[in-house]
Amino acid sequence: MSSALERFPPVIRKHRKLRILKRISEDRFLLMLLAPGVVWFVIYRYLPMAGLVIAFKDFSFSKGIFGSVWVGLDNFRFLFFEQSDFYNILRNTLLINTYRLIFSFPAPIILALAINELKSPKLGTFKNIVQTAVYIPHFVSWVIFGGIIVQFLSPSSGLVNQLLGLFGIKPIYFLTDPDWFQTVIVVTDIWKTTGWGAIIYLAALAGVDPSLYDAAEIDGAGSFSQIIHVTLPAIADTIVFIMLLNVGRILMIGFEQIYVLYNPMVYEVGDVISTYVYRVGIGNAQFSLTTAIGLFQSVIGLIMIAASNWASKKWLDRGLF
């Protein structure tokens, strides 16, 4: 009896192997289509992840990523305990992103709600014009947008300071005054990203059955209670989704906006992780040290997204995964 049992497993295994081979051969054309992309992902996304090991090494080009000498946690010890740059860029990154969560995050929701209120077909053209206009800043580069912002904020000829001048306010040096720089970053971020950010909420709102509004109206619900009882529940999933992604990016600030707008006079408040890593890492060839910062940033990002996803599942009953 025991010998009979022993005979079965290899046969089953062989069957499974055959079945897998058969499925691979059935899907061979699909796998062929997939192959170039997979190779790309391995080289340009997964190899850099392996390259993160240089955070624990003293990287030098002559020895390469894998040949360089291990130094354990020396890079992290230096960052955390022996210099203050790290805390400075960490503070700036966290501050700017917190302001963004408070001010930039709700802006597209409000805009989408406002656009969604244009329900009458007679307002269709107006709705189209508004949508086209608010999407435009997304399609313009930060260099160009930044160039325009610099003109607008110029202390001598800028529109903003001329308007302030009408009220007797002295010109403000928005881009070189450390007290103003972070505000400028947050406001210009809202300016450039709100319109495009609204599109995802509008997409969710497009799926709402119009009869729900009619029903609410018959029940005597005013505009505000319609928003609270019909509109907001329809986009709750999307709001949570975007919120979780933003929390996961709490240590990430796009390089281009800061790089375009900052200058040595505001490094103290404007330098963030990405700009610092570029300037010190590539500029001063501090590869290992800045990779350690990058690793710290990525790991915190992963932890934040996992934790907020867990919290959201527990209390809000929805999550990313």
Partner 1 sequence: MKSRMNPTPLRLLNWTFLIIAAFICILPFYYVITVSFSDPTSVKSGELLLYPRGFSLDAYRVILKQKTFYNAFIVTVVRTLLGTAIGLSLQCMVAYPLSRKTMIGRRFFMLFVIFTMLFNGGIIPTYLIVRYTGILNTIWAMVIPDAISAWNVIIIVSFFMTIPDSIIESAKIDGANDISIFTRLVIPLSTPVIMTITLFIAVSNWNSLMDAVIYINKSSLKPLQVYLMSLVMRSDMANMLGSQSEQDLPTLSIQTAAIFTATLPILVMYPFIQRYFIKGVMIGAIKG
160 near 153, Cβ under 8 Å?
yes
54 near 68, Cβ under 8 Å?
yes
Question: CB of 207: closest distance to partner 1 in angstroms?
Answer: 6
Question: CB of 3: closest distance to partner 1 in angstroms?
Answer: 34
When the beta carbons of 270 and 294 are compared against partner 1, the nearer one is 294
312 near 244, Cβ under 8 Å?
yes
When the beta carbons of 185 and 277 are compared against partner 1, the nearer one is 277
When the beta carbons of 1 and 38 are compared against partner 1, the nearer one is 38
108 near 191, Cβ under 8 Å?
no
When the beta carbons of 5 and 176 are compared against partner 1, the nearer one is 176
When the beta carbons of 94 and 118 are compared against partner 1, the nearer one is 118
Give the dihedral of Cα atoms 61, 62, 66, 72; nearest 10 deg. Answer: -80
When the beta carbons of 7 and 106 are compared against partner 1, the nearer one is 106
Question: CB of 2: closest distance to partner 1 in angstroms?
Answer: 35
197 near 143, Cβ under 8 Å?
no
Give SS3 for 1. coil
When the beta carbons of 73 and 133 are compared against partner 1, the nearer one is 133
Question: CB of 195: closest distance to partner 1 in angstroms?
Answer: 6
Question: CB of 24: closest distance to partner 1 in angstroms?
Answer: 6
- Max CA pair span of the chain: 101
The token pair at 195 is 């319109």
Mark out the alpha helices in the chain (DSSP H runs). 2-26, 28-41, 47-51, 64-67, 74-77, 85-99, 106-116, 124-135, 142-153, 159-166, 178-206, 210-218, 223-226, 232-248, 255-261, 267-270, 273-276, 287-315
Nearest to 281 by CA among 50, 94, 54: 54
Residue with tokens 């049992």: 5
